[in-house]
Amino acid sequence: MNYKKHYDALITKAQIRTLNKEDYSELHHIIPRGEGGKDEPDNLVRLLPREHFVAHWLLHRDNPKSSSRAFAFQMMCTTRLGAYKVSSRAYAEGKIACSKAFKEVRTGSKFIIHPETLAVKRVRPFELDWYFEQGWKLGRLKEVTVRHWINNGIRERYYLVEKPIPVNWVVGRLGSTTQDKKAVSLNGETLFVEESEIEKYLNNGYSLGIGRHNAPWKALKGKTLTCPNCGKVGGYQGMKVHHFENCKHK
Q: pLDDT by residue (tens digit) across 73-129?
A: 877 876 555 455 567 776 776 677 767 767 776 777 888 888 777 778 888 888 888
Please write down the HEC assignment for all residues of 208-240.
ECCCCCCHHHHHHCCCEEECCCCCCEEEHHHHH
pLDDT in tens, 23-74: 888 899 999 888 888 888 889 999 998 899 899 889 988 888 887 888 788 7
The whole-model pTM stands at 0.42
- At 215 the pLDDT is 47
- Half-sphere exposure in the Cβ direction for 174 (13 Å, CA): 16
Q: Write out the E strands in 84-171.
A: 110-113, 120-123, 137-138, 147-151, 156-160, 170-171
pLDDT in tens, 127-186: 888 888 888 888 876 655 667 778 887 777 777 777 788 888 888 777 655 566 777 777
Sort residue 118 into left (φ over 0), alpha (ψ -120 to 50) or beta: left
Q: How far is CA 118 from the centre of its chain?
A: 17
* Torsion from C-alpha of 199, 200, 206, 209, nearest 10 degrees: -50
Pairing type for strands 156-160 and 170-171 reads unpaired
What is the total residue count of the chain?
250
The phi and psi torsions of 109 (rounded to 5 degrees) equal -75, 160
